[in-house]
Amino acid sequence: MIDLQRDGDVFVLRLERDENRFRPDFLDEISRALDEVEAAGTPAALVTTGAGKFYSNGLDLDWMQAQGRDAAAEYMQGVLALFARTLTFPAITVAAMNGHAFGAGAQWALAHDYRVMRSGRGYFCMPEIDMRSPLHPGMTAIIQARLPRQSAHEVIVTGTRYTAEHALSRCIVDEVAPEEEVVSRAVALAAPLAGKADPIMSTLKRDMYPETLEHLLTDSRKVLGGAPS
């Protein structure tokens, strides 16, 4: 499902499971990979990427809706915990967005320090307005925390499907690159900052986003009247 390799001081985590929708077993694999990167100490940095035309299409709604309310809520909390851990990771993180990033996949990309998006194919999108679905407060908070206010409003309220160039113009991503260069550009962005890896980085990030982290801990059972992305 995933592959973790080291390119100099930068770990490259490749997600290779269909549309890279989050499932409990998939989340466990990602968590173990993050443990390995964190245990490496310094210098270290992390790049995440997908395979084919998907970075991540977010929650596995079919699986989630087949579960009981409590199991679905536990699953949601696991996804939110991944966002929180990425947002406060003690090393620089870069999302190398090789393709579609929808819903929770888009939110996970936003939890990274930087984003490099593939040109020519793939969209960044929050589709809840068209699904007539609510967002968990933590999901809303991470979008608000990591994007300019007007861009965050547009992302949530309009459900726009952003190409890489459009996403760059709205400050959703930091760089745009051809498909064959997305990962290498992300590595080049992360490598000079690998020496910054340290537990204090996590502390500094937590101090930057206390309200976002509080919202990410909101009990998911309170929002499961709808089907979040």
- The encoded tokens of residue 205 equal 């990030």
Cα–chain center distance at 226: 22
pLDDT at 226: 46
Distance CA 206, CA 216 (A): 12
DSSP 112: S
Q: Give tens-digit pLDDT for 150-185.
A: 999 999 999 999 999 999 999 999 999 999 999 999
Distance CA 64, CA 57 (A): 14
Letter for the amino acid at 224?
L
**Whether residue 210 has a cis bond before it, omega within 30° of 0:** no
Q: Give tens-digit pLDDT for 19-52.
A: 999 999 999 999 999 999 999 999 999 999 998 8
Q: Which CATH class is domain 2-222?
A: alpha beta
List the Cα angle 190/195/200 in 5-degree steps: 105
For the chain, give the percent of residues with pLDDT over 70: 96
pLDDT, the chain, mean: 93
The model's pTM is 0.94
List the Cα angle 192/166/84 in 5-degree steps: 55
pLDDT at 79: 95
How is the chain split into domains, by residue range? 2-222
On whether the CB atoms of residues 47 and 165 are closer than 8 A, the answer is no
List the Cα angle 197/47/16 in 5-degree steps: 140
